Structure 1
Amino acid sequence: MGIAIVKHNHPYRLVEQEGIRDLCVYLNSNALPISRNTIKADIEKMYKREKERVKTELNSITSRICLTADLWTFIATDGYLALTAHFVDEDWILQKRVLNFHHMPPPHGGPIFVVKVIDLLRDWAVEKNAHVLNLIVQDGVKVISKPVSKIRDCVKYIRASESRKLKFAECIVQVSLPCNKRVHQNVPTKWNSTFVMLDSALEYKLAFHQLHVVDRSFSRFYPTEEEWLRVQKFTTLLRPFYDLTTLFSGTNYPIANLYFHGVWKIQKVIMEEVNNLDIEVSEMAKQMKLKFEKYWECYSLVLSFAIILDPRFKMDYVVYAFKKLYPFDYEERAKEVRDKFYLLFEKYENTFDGDLLDGSIAGCSSGDLGNDNDDFAEFENQQHANKRNKSQVDSYLDDTRLLSTQELDVLNFWKENKNRYPILSLMARDILSIPITTVASESAFSIGGRIVGKFHTSLLPENVEVLLCTRDLLYGVTASEDEEDRERLSIDFASLVAKLTNLHESSLFSVEPAANLLADSNSELEEFYAMQLYEA
């Protein structure tokens, strides 16, 4: 029973419900009823067992551990800090573990935040290893906050009842729109869901307009034509961001080598749109550029190392990207990245014994020829000297790049080449484990929202942490849960529209009477219309 509660986010009191107890007795006539306190104690034991297992795992790995920490405030104003560890395991597979989902009451200032994170890490004994895109776009969203709010209210309106959904479906039929997309409501804190909402609203703009004509109650939410135009412009600007976020935010966490190329594309779009003749688009881009530059200086260097460690791109891509963005000083910028890449490698090199370094150079034995041919022996010694003087970085960068178009598991490449580049491979393992997505934190917050739902606000913070962390350590987050969240905030009108179309074609209704029906707020007529559709 404890497993079911953890896995499906049920409350402790599930075990005290009559139906559940009857089911247990039906399955085992000797089963004894248990209380919520008993099941709570069992789950706490489960959590402690899993925590010790993960603690042992984290302290046994040889790679570095990358940490992400984010704050979430529930509707009851309780703050929670999600602390997540990211690392590449001994089989060269990228892993993540939610270490803590810790209650964090106000204030949430920087110094307090840092002290709390260090405190939590001490408990895990990993203190030695001790969501930028979203922030950039949110600054742009502020410029059109009013139209975004109106469209959100429009979507909430049609989702509020079955009769309103029917009205909107009829509007889709009347304006002959295909149902290629679902209608989405956004989560205000997730800009990508805002993009999806705006994009789908634009797809159904004519249907929203028709509803505006036939439903007086809806009219107060409907955006003006000027606001629709602003939404159109903003959605066009955001599309490259959304494509990148889709790449970064899969359930299978992306490797850091994807970051440089993606963020470079975003920077390129922003810089182009800053000079857009449309004042609104230019203003949005300027706001985004300010935020981008604030975080780019912090993140670009180490994550440019990740693209260098992708054998399909190496330094060539860094030079190419900088040349596109900074045509006048790209060589100096690329040189800075290259120099610091070498400097980081030297630090790794200094942490290993000479035996490991010597073993990385594959040499040839002179055998009997060395005794018989002094000239060849001298030549061979010189060759060995040249190889020893050539670092692993030089060898790697000088090797021919793989085709940039080929599919490649970069971690597997370094796993297969760890004997050839033993020190560089360790550096690659650490850099490629750097998280480039907020998926881990957002997944924790999503599960937290299920555990601390509006019916479970009295759950103690320490019990929230036990339930969420045990769930993550045992099962992680499945794709079906992400899909469940998307389904919950969207509507697929395709089936409704298909039924309405069939009704019209069979002459049960004509378009004009249906429109008159929609304009009438009489509940009996709405009920009759819904019944006809249901029977069809």
Structure 2
Amino acid sequence: MIFMMIIEHDLPFSFVEHRRFKELLQYLHPDVKVPSRHVATMNVNNLYDFEKKKMKCMLSKVPSRISLTSDVWTSCNSEGYISLTTHYVDANWKLNSKMLNFSHFPHPHSGREMAKVIYGVLEEWRIEHNFFSLTLDNASSNDKMQDYLKERLLLHNNGLVSGEGLKVVGPSIKKIRESIKNVKGSEGRMKVFKACVAKFGGIHTKMGLHLDVITRWNSTFLMLESALVYRRAFCSLVFDDRSYSSCPTNEEWERGQKMCDFLRPFFQIIELISGSSYLTSNLYFMQVWKIECLLLQNLSNEDELIRTMANDMKTKFDKYWSDYSNVFSFGCILDPRFKIKLLKYCYSKLGLDPISCQAKLKVVEHKLYTLYNEYVQIYSKETISNTMATTSTISIAQVDVMNVSQGFT
């Protein structure tokens, strides 16, 4: 109880050593052992760790998606702080709000730094897979932060799929990676390499050489793409730089080309979904569907390595994306260019039999109509209250829900 009191009332740890507090405890129980501030500190930290583990366990069992709210501010003494609160509906349909983070946040309060902190909290609490939305104020830095965070989250989930495929190709691209490291290792080597580039001519030098981060598959794609542009220059470098001994063989270059061609559509899809200057909710369903189609096509690829990559990626895809989010399916349906006919077409191209295809469509339709009816009820109540003030208002409840919703199909 003492330690809970320290936490709840924001008391200093030294409070337990205050003379009057000790007298109170001894008055209540003469034989009481009053803890020291060091014991109080240890017990408060233990209590925090216990509650944190319990909270992690609870969040891992949340049946719904988790939404977040965050704020950054500067105190009167110019110290920056950031908070992050989670909101979710539990199995009993009760709305819960829990603060996950309240910490010191030194300047600069840039979008990149904010995204780094927020994503770190998501990873720490293991909710990055179940994250749905983030609500912020209108600070200008939040616009950039959303872009960075969206990229990290999309690359995380899709990277789990693509990264799974890259596990089997490590040895195949090792020499390409080492070649770029060699050239970028010193100014002298880069100078010799540029001379090789100039010797051949016709090489698009604006691209430059990219060295990948092994844990980020999109950077591996960019590395392969840039290295392939300079393939002839690397082959020439073998004769001009005696220290260069990691030049890939023709077979390894061809393998790199195949991997680059295989990863390119995935990279383009992630770039499209990551856009911030246009709506993306209506694009989500079709892009995830394209990823699944690409994987299915390459399960029978003639190249064994690509086939193995596709198989591993499909396994990971089924784990995270087997059921496309119904909310984003709604975005596709409400797009007047697509509607529900697109979903029917997409499902049919995945090799589903007509019965399974129809079952999936019925689930999406049912949830869409359910959501629509909830809004009808909400606005019907508002309309009824308004008719008490003016008889000219027509209740939205009079609208035939099914007739209106037929516009979606």
- What's the TM-score once normalised by structure 2's chain length? 0.59
Match of 2:345 in 1: 320
Write the distance in 2 (CA, Å) between the matches of 1:357 and 1:390: 17
From 174, 177, 180, give the equivalent of 1:149.
174
From 289, 314, 322, give the equivalent of 2:314.
289
SS at match of 1:292: helix
Match of 2:254 in 1: 229
Deviations 1:223-258 (A, max 9, x none): 233322221111111111011111123455853222
Conserved 8 A contact 2:380-2:395: no
Instruction: Quote the offset at 1:70 in angstroms.
Output: 4.1
Match of 1:206 in 2: 232
* Cα separation, partners in 2 of 1:309 and 1:193, compared to 1, 3 Å: same
Instruction: Quote the offset at 1:291 in angstroms.
Output: 0.8
Match of 2:404 in 1: 395
Match of 2:54 in 1: none
Deviations 1:424-449 (A, max 9, x none): xxxxxxxxxxxxxxxxxxxxxxxxxx
Root-mean-square deviation over aligned CA pairs? 4.2
Match of 1:86 in 2: 134
Write the distance in 2 (CA, Å) between the matches of 1:323 and 1:357: 44
Write the distance in 1 (CA, Å) between the matches of 2:286 and 2:243: 47
1:304 aligned to 2:333?
Answer: no
Instruction: Quote the offset at 1:386 in angstroms.
Output: 12
SS at match of 2:280: coil
Conserved 8 A contact 2:209-2:226: yes
Deviations 1:257-298 (A, max 9, x none): 221111111111111111222222211111111111111135
Give the letter for the 1:276 counterpart. N
Write the distance in 2 (CA, Å) between the matches of 1:251 and 1:150: 36
From 180, 195, 199, give the equivalent of 1:170.
195
Write the distance in 1 (CA, Å) between the matches of 2:126 and 2:347: 37
From 278, 281, 292, give the equivalent of 1:256.
281
Match of 1:183 in 2: 209
Give the letter for the 1:343 counterpart. T
Give the letter for the 2:319 counterpart. K
Write the distance in 1 (CA, Å) between the matches of 2:367 and 2:254: 46
Instruction: Quote the offset at 1:88 in angstroms.
Output: 9.0
* Cα separation, partners in 2 of 1:356 and 1:315, compared to 1, 3 Å: farther
Deviations 1:383-407 (A, max 9, x none): x99993522x7525417x9xxxxxx
- What's the TM-score once normalised by structure 1's chain length? 0.46
Match of 1:217 in 2: 243
1:276 aligned to 2:301?
Answer: yes
1:334 aligned to 2:361?
Answer: yes
SS at match of 1:295: helix
Write the distance in 1 (CA, Å) between the matches of 2:351 and 2:283: 21
Identity across aligned pairs (percent)?
34
Write the distance in 2 (CA, Å) between the matches of 1:152 and 1:294: 30
Match of 1:194 in 2: 220
Structure 1: 5+ residue runs without aligned partners? 1-38, 56-63, 102-130, 366-383, 402-536
Give the letter for the 1:178 counterpart. I
Match of 1:343 in 2: 370
Conserved 8 A contact 1:158-1:168: yes
Conserved 8 A contact 2:379-2:396: no
Write the distance in 1 (CA, Å) between the matches of 2:343 and 2:209: 40
Aligned length: 287
Write the distance in 2 (CA, Å) between the matches of 1:236 and 1:144: 14
- Relative contact order, higher structure (CA 8 A, sep 6+): 1
Instruction: Quote the offset at 1:150 in angstroms.
Output: 2.6
Conserved 8 A contact 2:192-2:240: no
Match of 1:125 in 2: none
Deviations 1:206-230 (A, max 9, x none): 11111123223221x2223332222
* Cα separation, partners in 2 of 1:356 and 1:312, compared to 1, 3 Å: farther
Structure 2: 5+ residue runs without aligned partners? 1-73, 86-95, 101-114, 150-155
* Cα separation, partners in 2 of 1:320 and 1:252, compared to 1, 3 Å: same
Write the distance in 2 (CA, Å) between the matches of 1:336 and 1:80: 31
Write the distance in 2 (CA, Å) between the matches of 1:310 and 1:358: 32
Give the letter for the 2:222 counterpart. V
* Cα separation, partners in 2 of 1:71 and 1:386, compared to 1, 3 Å: closer
